[in-house]
Amino acid sequence: MKSDPRSGPLTGLRVIELAGIGPAPHAALVLADLGADVVRVEGPRGRQLQLADADHVDMGLRGRRVVAADLKSAEDLEMVLDLVGRADVLLEGMRPGVAERLCIGPQACLKRNSRLVYARVTGWGQHGPLATAVGHDINYVGLSGALHAMGDPGAPPAPPLNLVGDYGGGSMLVLVGILAALFERSHSGRGQVVDAAMVDGAVLLSQMLLALRAMGGWSDRRGTNILDGSAPFYRTYACADGRHVAVGALEPQFFGALVEGLGLSPETVGEQHDRQNWNSMRELFAERFASQTRDEWVASFSGLDACVTPVLAYGEAAKHPHLVARQTYVEVGGVVQAAPAPRFSRTPSGPPSSPPAGKVPVAEVLTDWSA
């Protein structure tokens, strides 16, 4: 029987995750964090539950059970379809057509369970000229227009890790789609297919910049815009110890506090939004920040509303007093990781649970889901 009862606003929701990489497992993790009963279906060889170092488990698999099923086997496929018949959501991140070839695509699943929300997350989407093309986060973000706007103008665009495509444009978008489809089902009684594409999500995340561009407030020329690092008051600066601070003094009152904290006069700095002055202002700010260590600047700006904060590495961030107070990072099984988010007042999520130590029989889940 299920040994780890979940808590949270999604308690009682039954989710099948078809094993994959990237945004789909992350979306499954979030659903499990929020209380859903998530079961990950892996092939006989499947994704390894252990990383190369056997002493470290993959915390990306936390919060759900894993079952082994060979979808090319008629018997195993039937067992998984039995699970589908009892599930609320099926989540998959395969290339278009793969699930259909495995006989577990939307048509087969919705025939078994008309209330099922069948959620699909891919890079290019389920249709279009590139639908079946290979790609990774950097490719989807590159095609969306978002990557072009990032990085120093004197260098190639800098990829924002895999946060914008895989997780912002992929995982978060498919989660919105799942929850929207579940809400619609509460009225119609019918499930449907959710087609979440990372390229679509990256464009959706860019909507504010697209709106600015339409109003003449954003240029396609990187290094000339207020949020791309060219503005002296919205960028990072190196300090004397080689570490960095982040400056986000957009509003005039914050800009004034920034100038004050740097020990400069408004006359020396010049007018905030005079772009002809930005190069000299950047140089002036860079020189000042380079004169002290990062933590000295943090102390100097303490109490000033200047939007100046340290740039922390993950190891430092986990120990920051604010994140400690909010328990934004938690430790499970000796591994520091992200706590469930967001927070809820009446139906709080419990702490994240460890990933499975091994695979459980499909029959065990069928018994749990028989009610």
Please state the length of the chain.
371
Alpha-carbon dihedral 74, 80, 83, 87, rounded to 10 degrees: -130
Q: Is 359 exposed, middle or buried (0-12, 13-18, 19+ CB in 10 A)?
A: middle
Task: For residue 228, give every residue at least 6 positions away whose Cβ sits within 8 Å of its Cβ, in sequence order, or none.
Answer: 149, 150, 222
How does strand 37-42 pair with strand 64-68?
A: parallel
Q: Which residue of the set 166, 195, 200, 228 is catalytic? A: 166
Q: Is 137 exposed, middle or buried (0-12, 13-18, 19+ CB in 10 A)?
A: buried
Rounded to an integer, what distance in angstroms lies between the CA atom of residue 189 and that of residue 172? 24
DSSP label of 148: G
Measure the N-to-C terminal CA separation of the chain; round to a whole number of Å. 13
305 belongs to the catalytic site: no
How does strand 64-68 pair with strand 89-92?
A: unpaired
What sign for the dihedral angle of Cα 18, 20, 23, 27? Answer: positive
Query: How large is the greatest C-alpha to C-alpha distance in the chain, in angstroms?
Result: 78
CA-closest candidate to residue 196, choices 183, 208, 181: 181
136 belongs to the catalytic site: yes
Count other Cβ atoms within 10 Å, centred on residue 43: 15
Which residues of the chain form beta strands (DSSP E)? 14-18, 37-42, 64-68, 89-92, 117-122, 192-197, 234-238, 244-248, 308-310, 329-332, 335-338
Evaluate whether 239 touches 294 at the Cβ level (below 8 Å): yes
Return the active site residues. 136, 166
